Amino acid sequence: MESNISFTLKVWRQAGPKEKGAFKDYEMKDIPTDTSFLEMLDILNEQLVEKGEEPIVFDHDCREGICGMCSLYINGHPHGPATGATTCQLYMRRFHDGETITVEPWRSAAFPVIKDLMVDRNAFDKIQQAGGYVSFNCGSAQDANALPIPKTAADEAMDSASCIGCGACVAACKNGSAMLFVSAKVSQFALLPQGRAEAARRVKAMVSKMDELGFGNCTNTGACAAECPKNIKLSNIARMNREFLCAKFKD
């Protein structure tokens, strides 16, 4: 049965990267509990526009839990209190009538605020670009069994590739580390024979770029994996460390 809730929304407002930001309170009345969190923000923005006020800027795209653009820090959790889900998959039934809901952007030196709740996550793109691509020979079709891949390795590579690069791991980490994201991108190639040829160059380049962009160090608290909307495993970090050390020893 559908019900409505009323609550106070405490939202971070910041006019630009170099401007000082502050929280601003908004009273939300009779919001249906089957409304998604982003739909609730849409309702608030419509009310602000009607009043002649500046709407709240926030990132969103697919609204289907695929792209990871909906990067909001809600009540101390990246993407909110729901586990294994993005902000767009969070519904107001998760909250209580009369509650105060605090909404912030990702907090990381490598993710500067553009405006309000939107941050610049180009740092992740630069890390992936540093990793490069998998080289292969074009031409006639290869035999289907030319590159046998164990099912366990293929499954683990696919699990790693499910990382959507939303940045929740960085937001959850007290050090602002990007190790879970980078290790997932390293693992999705390192586990497959197609990625082994350039594995050493790839891991060194991606780790170097990660450090260059100002991400913090990993201290294995596990907050990144706990808050990841795609449940990327912490074991990827151990694999990346092994790949990196092996590459350095080969040098």
Q: Please say if the pLDDT value at position 143 is more than 70.
A: no
Judge if 162 and 238 occupy the same domain.
yes
> In the prediction, which pLDDT does 214 show?
94
> In the prediction, which pLDDT does 43 show?
98
Q: What value does the mean pLDDT of the chain take?
A: 94
Average pLDDT over residues 181-188: 97
Domain-ending residue, one of 72, 90, 114:
114
Judge if 88 and 162 occupy the same domain.
no
Domain-ending residue, one of 61, 93, 114:
114
Query: Containing domain of residue 145, as a range?
Result: 122-250
Judge if 65 and 152 occupy the same domain.
no
Judge if 92 and 55 occupy the same domain.
yes
> In the prediction, which pLDDT does 199 show?
94
Average pLDDT over residues 84-96: 96
Structure tokens at 37: 């969190």
Q: Please say if the pLDDT value at position 1 is more than 60.
A: no
> What's the pLDDT band for 194 if we cut at 50, 70, 90?
confident
> In the prediction, which pLDDT does 106 show?
96
